[in-house]
Structure 1
Amino acid sequence: MIQVLIVDDDAFIRESLKMILNLQPDLEVVGTCGNGLEALAFVKQHPTIELVLMDIRMPECDGVQGTRLLKEYAPHIAVFILTTFDDDDYIVEAIRYGAGGYSLKNISPERIIEGIRTVHRGDLLIHPDVARKLATLVQGPRTDHSPGSRKVKLEAYQLTPAEQQIVELIADGKSNKEIAQTLFLSEGTIKNYITEILSKLSLRDRTQIAIFYLT
């Protein structure tokens, strides 16, 4: 059972999402909040929360700063950004602070639910174009973005050809399931590869792998 906190300044949206998510056998909405500061206070009182469904634009403390506060306090909590605004700058900032992905509110409930499961698994849910923009903001533009230069970069960290291919697929926004299907391997094998990649690159999560590869 995934314990979920919904954070949105619109009470109607909060209650609608709560009703939809609670219909799922593997999801439980533990509570709802109106901004990032309220979310932080709630998480401190409810340590079982595993995922926060976070709006971007909220009064007092928006989703970007809310993500930063939550990840600083409880790095293990997954944050899934859900917004009505297709605003790359906000999204990029939230992901840079540790959000596991984003989606727009106008998608179907089924896709929101699947997005929650994806982010909870630790898979990165982000469009490749946003990942590239994030890479530029974090470390600045590089003069050489060619596949050849990236391959040399990965080889310098002793990544095997299979590990290099998985890094490329992560940077393209593929989930573990999609990578497994592409490489004809099990999801468990892919997870083991990713653990080894994180160790070799001294990185924390899939977002950092994508940033590392794209910069």
Structure 2
Amino acid sequence: MKIKVIIADDNSFIREGMKIILNTYDEFDVLDTVNDGKEAFNYCKNHDVDVALLDVRMPNMNGVEATKLIAEQTKTKPLILTTFDDDEFIIDAIKNGAKGYLLKNNDPEQIRDAIKSVYNGNTVMQDIVLEKIKSNLQDNKVIELKIDKTLFTERELDIMALIAKGQSNKEISKTLFISEGTIANYISSILGKTGLEHRTQIAIYYLTGKISR
């Protein structure tokens, strides 16, 4: 069974180019290409679409706004595919339900693998995107957390926040004045409570309140 995909981008050259690339892979069926987020949402609402590739900066409705509607009102999984200078939208896109955030300059094989991974229920975050998230947190931008704080102790929440900022156990030890061994125990507790497997997943969970694998 092929993965049914649509592509939303207001640049026709990029839009059609991506369609040609994806159609070279047997596992994809590119159903349509659209010009903006509103068209993408309407298409997903009226058709059976597995993954929607969304640009961020589009007229009428941008990719972040479309992501929210698609995630809330359809079964389609939104995947942001955009340019490096759209990084201010990263956290909003993730909060709105984006299942991935990739840059357009990736190799076609990486984009293919990302679509397949998102289709299979995973969340895909490129390393450079995670670095942008950490940078935003370090700039002390206000982040409205969606996690269930009642599940965790205050110390666990402190450690999760520092992990999301990209700090290592050694750096967290210096920040909180506790041993690295104690920090490792706290991280084990966090992983146990959430069912997550590693630090990157903790960072995404802390920002979005969603368990992603």
Taking structure 1 as the reference length, what is the TM-score of the superposition? Answer: 0.68
Give the paired residue count: 173
Residue 212 of structure 2 aligns with an amino acid whose one-letter code is R
- Which residue in the other structure is 2:107 paired with? 108
Q: Structure 1 residue aligned with 2:131, among 120, 129, 137?
A: 129
- Which residue in the other structure is 1:67 paired with? 67
Change (3 A) 1:2 1:169: same
Query: Which protein has the larger Cα radius of gyration, Structure 1 or Structure 2?
Result: 2
- Which residue in the other structure is 1:12 paired with? 13
CA drift at 1:131: 4.8
CA drift at 1:149: 5.5
The answer on 1:155 being equivalent to 2:189 is yes
Residue 85 of structure 1 aligns with an amino acid whose one-letter code is F
Q: Which segments of structure 1 move beyond 6 Å, counting only runs of 4 or more?
A: none
Q: How well do the aligned residues superpose, as a CA RMSD in angstroms?
A: 3.1
CA drift at 1:111: 1.6
Q: CA–CA distance in 2 between the matches of 1:36 and 1:71?
A: 13
**SS at structure 1 position matched to 2:91:** helix
Q: Is the 8 Å Cα contact of residues 6 and 49 (structure 2) preserved in structure 1?
A: yes
Q: CA–CA distance in 2 between the matches of 1:77 and 1:56?
A: 17
Identity among equivalent pairs (%): 32
CA drift at 1:16: 1.0
Alignment of 1:18-167 (within 5 A): 18-46=19-47, 48-74=48-74, 76-126=75-125, 127=127, 128-132=130-134, 133=136, 137-139=143-145, 144=159, 145=162, 146=172, 148=182, 151-152=185-186, 155=189, 159=193, 163=195, 166-167=197-198
- Which residue in the other structure is 1:206 paired with? 212
Q: Is the 8 Å Cα contact of residues 36 and 66 (structure 1) preserved in structure 2?
A: yes
Residue 110 of structure 2 aligns with an amino acid whose one-letter code is R
Residue 139 of structure 1 aligns with an amino acid whose one-letter code is L
Q: Which runs of 5 or more residues in structure 1 are unaligned?
A: 174-197, 208-215
Q: Is the 8 Å Cα contact of residues 191 and 198 (structure 2) preserved in structure 1?
A: no
1:24-68 Cα deviation digits (max 9, x unpaired): 11101011111111111111221x201000001111111110101
Change (3 A) 1:143 1:136: farther
Residue 56 of structure 2 aligns with an amino acid whose one-letter code is I
CA drift at 1:158: 5.4
Taking structure 2 as the reference length, what is the TM-score of the superposition? Answer: 0.68
Q: CA–CA distance in 1 between the matches of 2:17 and 2:8?
A: 12
